[in-house]
Amino acid sequence: MAKPVHYPCYLHLLFLILSFHRSSQLQPFQSQSLLRIQQLLNYPSFSTSFDNTTDFCNIEPTPSLTLLCYEDNITQLHIVGNTGVPPNFSTDYFFATVASLSSLKVLSLVSLGFSGPLPESIGQLSSLEILNASSNYFSGSIPASLSSLKSLQTLILDHNKFSGEVPGWVGFLPVLAVLSLKNNSLSGYLPNSLTRLESLRIFSLSKNHLSGQVPDLHNLTNLQVLELEDNHFGPDFPGLHNKVVTLVLRNNSFHSGIPADLVTYHQLQKLDLSFNGFVGPFLPSLLSSPPMNYLDISHNKFTGMLFENMSCHAELAYVDLSSNLLTGELPTCLNLSSESRTVLYARNCLSNKEQEQHPFNFCHNEALAVKILPRDDVKHQRHDKEVLASSTMGGVVGGIAIVGLVFLFVKRVYSKDDVKKPQTRILVKNLSSVNTVKLLSDARHISQTMKLGASLPNYRTFSLEELKEATNNFDASNLLSEDSSSQMYKGKLNDGSLVAIRSSKVRKKISQRTFTHHIELISKLRHNHLISALGHCFDCCQDDSSTSRIFNIFEFVPNGTLRDYISGIPENKLKWPQRIGVAIGVARGIQFLHTGIVPGVFPNNLKITDVLLDHDLLVKLCSYNLPLLTEGSVMTR
C-alpha cells in the first residue's frame, strides 16, 4: 500500500490541517482499513482513486460502493461486485480487515465472488445490525460466531452454497426480524429454538434440502412472510399466527388437511400450496377473503364441490385450482375473459370443459382412495380419520355451533347460579387458544358491537404502491398537515373513496413488537363516532436500519370541526337540538374508547377541534391520545 512518505513533512502537515477544516475525517486506522479493502478487491468498479487524502465520509455513492459515517466512524459499508475477486484473494484476511471497522452497523457484500467458509472473524462486529452476504459462493456451515451478534436484525445469506443444518443458536438472536437463507444446500430438521424469534418478520428458506415437521410458529406474532418452497417439509400444515401476509409452501411433502382457521388470516395476500399432497376439503371462502390476490392450490388432492354463485375477492389476480379432485361448476366470478385475472382449473372433474377435465367418477374414486390410505403409525392413522371426518361432515360443524349457542342461552336464562361473564375483545387474538364455550356464549355481544363499525370496509394491509398512486406519489398538493415527525396526506383509492394517510418516521430503537401493539390497537377502533383506521403499511429497508416509515390509513371527513359549527359562520351554527345530538355522539364515542375494547383507551384529552362533523352532522372523533410510534410527536388530524 503506497503511503505519501515522499512528501516533505510541512506539506503533509499542511494537507492534514486543510483536510480537517474541509470536513470531518475517519480515524486513521479506519481509513487504512478501507484502503486495504480497496487493494484486496482490486477492480475498477470499486474505486481506483482512494489514497490517504480521501475523505471517505463524503465520497459520492456509486452502484458499486456506498459508505456512511456517524461521528467520524464508518457505520455502513455496501459493496456490490460485477466480476470475480482477484487471484490469490484471501477471504480470511479480507474479513479480518473488515472486522477492524468495529462501529459497523450495516455490512452488505453482494456478488463479489467470495468462496470457502464465511470466516469466524465476522463475529467481531459486535455492533452489526444488518448482514447481507448474498449471491456469493460461501460454503460449509453458517459460522457459530454470528451467535454473538446480539444486535443483529437482518441476516441475508441467499444464493450461496452453505450446507449443514439451520443452527439452533439462530433462535437466540433477540431482535432478529429478517432471516433469509434461500438457494443454499442446507439440510436436516429445523431447530425448535426458532419459536423464540418473537421479532421475526420475514423467514425464507426456499430451495434447500430441509425436511421434517415445521416447528409450531404460533408465537411469532410479527411473522408476515414465510417462504419454504422447494424443500421436503411435512407432513402437517405448519402452525402459524393469523397475521401472515405471504405463505409459500410450494413443492414440499405436506400431505395433511389444511386448517379451517386459514380463512381467518385476514392479512393473507399470497397463498401457494402447490405440488404437495394436501387432502381433504378445499375452503372456497379463500376465494373471497380480502386481501387475497394470489392463490395456487394446484397438484394436490383437494376435494369438494364448487358452485356458480360463489363470490371472489375483486383483487384476486391469479388462481390455480388445477390437478385436484374438485367437482361442480366453476364460479362465475372466475371470469376467464378478464385481462386482470388468470384462472387455471384443468384436470379436475368440473362441468366446465374449456380446460381439460377428468370424468366425475375419477374424482370420486380418487377421493375414496385418499380417505382409506393406510398409515404406518397410530398418530398418522388418527390424523387421517380427522381428515375423513372433515371431508364428509363439514356442514355439521355449523349445526353443532348453533345448537351449542341455543343450549348456552337456555342455560343462562334458567340457571340460578349463572355467573356474569366479562366483555369479549372485538378482535379475538389467537383463536386456537380461546375457550370455545365462552366464545359462543359471548357471540351475541360481539356481533352487536361489530355492527357499530359495519359500514366500514375491512381493516387491511395496504401496499406502498397503492398509497403512492392515491396521493400522486405524496405530492405536496395533497399535504393536509405536518409536524416534526409525521405528515398527513389526502388520498383517493382505486374505488374512489377518500382517505387520510399519515406517514410517520420510526426510530430504529422502536421494536417491531411496538409496531404490532400499535396496529392491533388502532385496528380495534372502528365505530360510527370515531375516525376509524382502514389499514396500515410498513416501509422498511432491509439495507438501512436507521429509520423506516409506517403509514396509517383513516377514513376522510372534510366537513370541518365542531368549533366551526359553534363559533364560525352564523348561518352554519348548530341549533340546540343539534348540539344535544352532537354531545350524545361525543359521549358514545368516548364510551366506546373506554369500554368497547380491551384494554380501554383513556384519558382521551379531547378538544373541540378534535370533534369533526360529516355532511349529516354525525360526530367523528379524530384524536384518541393513543401511544405513538415516533419520539416527541403528538396525534394530529
pLDDT for 521-557, tens place per residue?
Answer: 777 778 888 888 888 887 765 555 445 788 888 888 8
The hierarchical CATH code for the domain 460-621 is: 1.10.510.10
Separation CA 587–CA 457 (nearest Å): 24
Place 33 in a pLDDT band, splitting at 50, 70 and 90. Answer: confident
Model confidence at 582: pLDDT above 50:
yes
- What is the arrangement of strands in the sheet containing 137-140, beginning at the earlier edge strand? 115-116, 137-140, 161-164, 185-188, 209-212, 232-233
Q: Of 282-286, 392-396, 403-407, which one has max mean pLDDT? A: 282-286
Which residue type occupies 466? E
E-only strand ranges, 222-320: 225-227, 232-233, 246-248, 270-272, 279-281, 294-296, 301-306, 318-320
According to the per-residue pLDDT averaged within each range, which of 46-55, 308-317, 377-386 is highest? 308-317
CA 477 to chain CA centroid, nearest Å: 30
pLDDT band at 53 (very low <50, low <70, confident <90, very high): low
> Is 0.85 surpassed by the pTM of this model?
no
Higher pLDDT: 514 or 147? It is 147
User: Cα separations (Å) of 279 from 369, 391, 519, 550?
Assistant: 11, 9, 35, 40
Cβ atoms within 10 Å of 206's Cβ, excluding its own: 19
DSSP H helical ranges for 180-234? none
Asked if the model's pLDDT at residue 630 lies above 70, the reply is no
Say if residues 90 and 62 touch (Cβ distance below 8 Å): no
Lowest mean pLDDT across 268-282, 476-490, 559-573: 559-573
Q: How far apart are CA 472 and CA 39, in angstroms?
A: 46
pLDDT tens digit string along 408-440? 443 443 443 433 333 333 332 333 333 333 333
202-259 per-position pLDDT tens digit = 999 999 999 999 999 999 999 999 999 999 999 999 999 988 999 999 999 999 999 9
Residue 511 has pLDDT above 60, yes or no: no
What are the backbone dihedrals phi and psi of residue 363, each rounded to the nearest 5 degrees, phi first? -65, -35
More confident residue, 4 or 513: 513
Q: If pLDDT is split at 50, 70 and 90, which confidence band does 299 have? A: very high
Asked if 503 contacts 487 with a C-beta cutoff of 8 angstroms, the reply is yes
Please tell me the predicted confidence (pLDDT) of residue 410.
37
Find the range with the poorest average confidence among 350-354, 399-403, 597-601, 605-609. 399-403
pLDDT at 12 over 70: no
Q: What's the pLDDT score for residue 516? A: 65
Q: Is residue 382's pLDDT more than 80?
A: no
List, in order, residues 6 or more apart from 433 with CB less than 8 Å away.
Answer: none
**Which residues fall within 8 angstroms of residue 128, CB to CB, at 6 or more apart?**
104, 105, 106, 107, 149, 151, 152
Q: Which three cell numbers stand for residue 41?
A: 478487491
pLDDT band at 166 (very low <50, low <70, confident <90, very high): very high
- Which three cell numbers, joined as nine digits, stand for 506? 420510526
Instruction: For residue 444, name the pLDDT band (cuts at 50, 70, 90).
Output: very low
- Segments of the chain assigned to CATH 1.10.510.10: 460-621
Please state, rounded to an integer, the average pLDDT across all residues of the chain.
76
Query: Average of pLDDT values for 14-32?
Result: 51
C-alpha cell at position 441 = 356464549
pLDDT surpasses 70 at 267: yes
Ramachandran bin of 617, using left for φ above 0, alpha for ψ from -120 to 50, beta for the remaining angles: left
Percentage of the chain beyond pLDDT 90 is: 32
pLDDT tens per residue, range 596-612:
776 677 666 788 888 88
Place of cell 472486522: 99
CATH of domain 234-392: 3.80.10
Assign 513 a pLDDT band (cuts: 50, 70, 90). low
Which residue has better confidence, 131 or 398? 131
User: Poorest-confidence range of 196-205, 582-591, 628-637?
Assistant: 628-637
DSSP letter (8 states) at residue 165 = P
Over residues 335-359, the mean pLDDT reads: 85
pLDDT at res. 38:
79
pLDDT given at position 507: 62
pLDDT at 441 (0 to 100) = 35
Element (H, E) at 413: helix 394-414
Confidence of residue 7 (pLDDT cuts 50, 70, 90): very low
**Buried-exposed string 521-548: b where 16+ CB fall within 10 A, e elsewhere:** bbbbbbbbbbbbbbbbbbebebebbeeb
Contact (CB, 8 A) for 523 and 459: yes
Task: Average the pLDDT over 626-630 and give the result.
Answer: 48
Domain with CATH 3.80.10 in the chain: 234-392
**427: three-class secondary structure by DSSP:** coil
**What CA–CA distance (Å, rounded) separates 306 from 327?**
6
Mean pLDDT of 52-72: 77
Q: How far apart are CA 481 and CA 490, in angstroms?
A: 10
Tens of pLDDT along 120-158?
A: 999 898 889 999 999 999 999 999 999 999 999 999 999
H or E element, residue 203 = strand 202-204
pLDDT at 90 over 90: no
Q: What is the DSSP letter of 148?
A: G
Is a pLDDT exceeding 80 seen at residue 85?
Answer: no
Task: Give the confidence band of 389 by pLDDT, cuts at 50, 70, 90.
Answer: very low
Does pLDDT of 346 surpass 80?
yes
